């Protein structure tokens, strides 16, 4: 059986802010079957996580630049892999059957062939909407959880500043209880007003001036967990220049991290988050667009702060 | 008994690079005695540690700036306290006797009255020159020791980059065995040549472009210990702007610290360093000037990289 598969790709490498015209929709015939003896799994996309970091994979790098050499670059014209939730429509792998719900690395398209299954897991929705499993219960949530509890180790009463609190990770964090989390999406100059006692923990998704302002208003032994630098992704000349005299004298720690390093926490994170959700302690903020054609606008909008909450595309109906 | 005490002070606050003309020598009559019933200790200065951080205490700060509010500012015209080694010439404190060797906070002058003794300790020279006790066996050494072993936790074979390796802390570090320490006093652009395998640990005394270059050439999970930012002390506009995309993707930690937070390590540090010295494993590099009049030039020279090794002033003969 064959279908027409629609997917999104980039026309060429993108080095500045992305525009919808940088993307194109391709339509190809696609077999809903696997070769006998293969381990391939064919997945129909249901929900896709739309993440700013993808822009770093879309850039062209000279061979002398090693900045993103540890991420796999996206090739113009080819499918773009992305985290999502889908349903198995054909499987050559004994661990997956047609009809299974799965989450993992699928693609910006309606159908994907997942070769090898290290990037795919069977999904138990635990009674939650499937969209939760690309956001609050997935990497956005894990980033917030690991960064907050593992890296920042908050103590009761500490003041926490979260940048981009309307974004996916920021929004998760701003929901965490036991610390005062101020949800400011643009806090320049407002730091002193909202944090008269200074900042103990800054969760940085933004970089540039926001990081500088946070460091300037930070208390002794403050901690910055940096999981993203969205303001710097699309402007190679844009840099954070925190006052290093502050960093030394206030003994500030600035630490970059990726959620993928903290998969050992996933089970704890998942059950804690499910519990918070059941008890109504987390207010889930999602911004969901429909169908594969909306992916470029959804992605481009991340860099214009169009989204309010975790940006998700529902690619196809369940 | 009275003497004429010569000491150095600042004429006014200094906000840029210091010049010798910013300082003046004052001569005052000074009692070599203590009031009966006081706990004061009068110390004759032998060796003084000349440290870049003092410039931060010489600046004028508006009340809205909190950058260095946790350090005590230096008042124009008054004595400047500094770490040194001296000999007690009069004491009202039962723990100190005339003739005792001491180390602690004395001043940029020939004689100091130390009020309260929390900043003063009796000194056992352990057979080493007294100058060692303001450098390699004092805070410069402790900074290197604590920053290296406590903060950076080096693993065998890791590549360590030390900036300002001809300075006091850098020189101590560059001497530490068990890791390859490259001693480059100006390494911009040279990083790739000297570190073809990248940098795992960067000990930052400099800030600005040096920090940026180190981060750019850093390996995954690299650590930066920042104990000083000499290039930024005298130029308020000068800032390090490390690439935060590197910091996130390479999971780099940048951590400010001061040796004073690690006094719990002093005994370990002291015995380990003495042992290394006895075995000839540390090559001590000192740059010693004579007499109180040389203090301004010694201090100003730090910011011009005039010193080769730990800058010390021998104020008076033993």
Q: Which residues of A touch B228 (CB under 8 A)?
A: 248
Average pLDDT over residues B25-45: 93
The 10 Å Cβ neighbour count of residue B26 is: 13
Closest by Cβ to A239, choosing from B204, B227, B243: B243
User: For A45-70, b where at least 16 C-beta lie within 10 A, e where not — what string?
Assistant: bbbbbbbbbbbbbbbeeeeeebbbee
Average pLDDT over residues B118-147: 92
Mean pLDDT of chain A: 86
Closest by Cβ to B256, choosing from A239, A251, A261: A251
CA B171 to CA B183: how far, in whole Å? 8
Average pLDDT over residues A83-98: 95
For the cut 70, the answer to whether the pLDDT of residue B184 exceeds it is no
Between these two residues, B9 and B151, which has the higher pLDDT value? B9
Q: Is B248 in contact with A258 (Cβ distance < 8 A)?
A: yes
Q: Percent of chain B beyond pLDDT 90?
A: 57
Q: Which of A157-171, B193-207, B299-313 has the highest mean pLDDT?
A: B299-313
Which tokens in the block code for residue A75? 């090739």
Interface ipTM > 0.90: no
Closest by Cβ to A246, choosing from B67, B233, B253: B67
How many angstroms separate the CA of residue B98 from the nearest CA in chain A?
36
Q: Is B240 in contact with A242 (Cβ distance < 8 A)?
A: yes
User: Could you report the per-residue pLDDT of A112-155, keeping only the tens digit for each?
Assistant: 999 877 789 999 999 999 999 999 999 988 998 898 888 888 88
For the cut 80, the answer to whether the pLDDT of residue B70 exceeds it is no
The answer to whether A241 faces chain B, any CB pair under 8 Å, is: yes
For the cut 90, the answer to whether the pLDDT of residue B269 exceeds it is yes
Q: Which residues of A touch B233 (CB under 8 A)?
A: 245
Q: Which residues of A touch B239 (CB under 8 A)?
A: 241-244
Element (H, E) at B247: helix B244-249
Average pLDDT over residues A7-33: 96
Strand bridging mode B23-31 / B2-10:
antiparallel
Which tokens in the block code for residue A53? 């970091």
- Which CA distances in Å does A208 have to A19, A213, A234, A283, B26? 22, 9, 12, 28, 47
Q: Which residues of A touch B232 (CB under 8 A)?
A: 243-245
Confidence band, pLDDT 50/70/90 cuts, at residue A183: very low
Confidence band, pLDDT 50/70/90 cuts, at residue A164: low
Mean pLDDT of chain B: 86
Residue pairs between chains A and B whose CB atoms are closer than 8 Å:
115
CA A165 to CA A184: how far, in whole Å? 6
How many angstroms separate the CA of residue B249 from the nearest CA in chain A?
7
The 10 Å Cβ neighbour count of residue A208 is: 20
User: Could you report the per-residue pLDDT of B191-229, keeping only the tens digit for each?
Assistant: 566 778 889 999 888 888 889 999 999 999 999 999 888
CA B227 to CA B261: how far, in whole Å? 12
Q: Which region among A85-94, A279-288, A295-304 has the lowest average model confidence (pLDDT)? A: A279-288
Give me the pLDDT at residue B181, please: 36
For the cut 70, the answer to whether the pLDDT of residue B172 exceeds it is no
Q: Is B256 in contact with A258 (Cβ distance < 8 A)?
A: no
The answer to whether A248 faces chain B, any CB pair under 8 Å, is: yes
Confidence band, pLDDT 50/70/90 cuts, at residue B165: low
């Amino acid at each position: 059986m064959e279908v027409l598969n629609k997917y999104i790709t980039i026309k060429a490498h993108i080095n500045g802010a992305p525009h919808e015209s940088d993307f194109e929709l391709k339509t190809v015939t696609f077999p809903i079957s696997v070769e006998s003896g293969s381990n391939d799994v064919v997945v129909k996309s249901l929900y896709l996580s739309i993440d700013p970091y993808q822009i770093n994979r879309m850039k062209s790098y000279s061979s002398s630049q090693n900045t993103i050499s540890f991420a796999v670059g996206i090739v113009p014209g080819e499918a773009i892999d992305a985290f999502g939730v889908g349903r198995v429509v054909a499987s050559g792998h004994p661990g997956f059957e047609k009809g299974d719900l799965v989450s993992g690395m699928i693609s910006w398209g309606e159908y994907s062939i997942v070769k090898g299954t290290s990037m795919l897991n069977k999904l138990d929705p635990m009674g939650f909407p499937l969209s939760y499993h690309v956001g609050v219960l997935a990497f956005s949530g894990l980033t917030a959880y690991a960064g907050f509890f593992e890296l920042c180790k908050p103590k009761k009463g500490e003041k926490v500043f979260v940048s981009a609190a309307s974004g996916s990770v920021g929004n998760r964090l701003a929901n965490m209880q036991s610390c005062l989390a101020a949800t400011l999406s643009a806090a320049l100059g407002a730091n002193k007003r909202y944090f008269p006692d200074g900042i103990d923990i800054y969760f940085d998704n933004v970089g540039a001036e926001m990081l500088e302002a946070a460091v300037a208003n930070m208390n002794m032994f403050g901690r910055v967990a940096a999981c993203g630098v969205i303001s710097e992704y699309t402007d190679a000349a844009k840099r954070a220049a925190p006052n290093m005299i502050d960093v030394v004298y206030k003994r500030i720690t600035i630490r970059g991290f990726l959620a993928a390093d903290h998969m050992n926490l996933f089970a704890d994170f998942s059950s804690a988050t499910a519990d918070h959700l059941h008890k109504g302690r987390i207010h889930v903020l999602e911004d969901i667009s429909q169908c594969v054609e909306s992916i470029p606008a959804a992605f481009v909008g991340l860099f214009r702060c169009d989204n309010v909450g975790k940006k998700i595309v529902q690619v196809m109906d369940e």
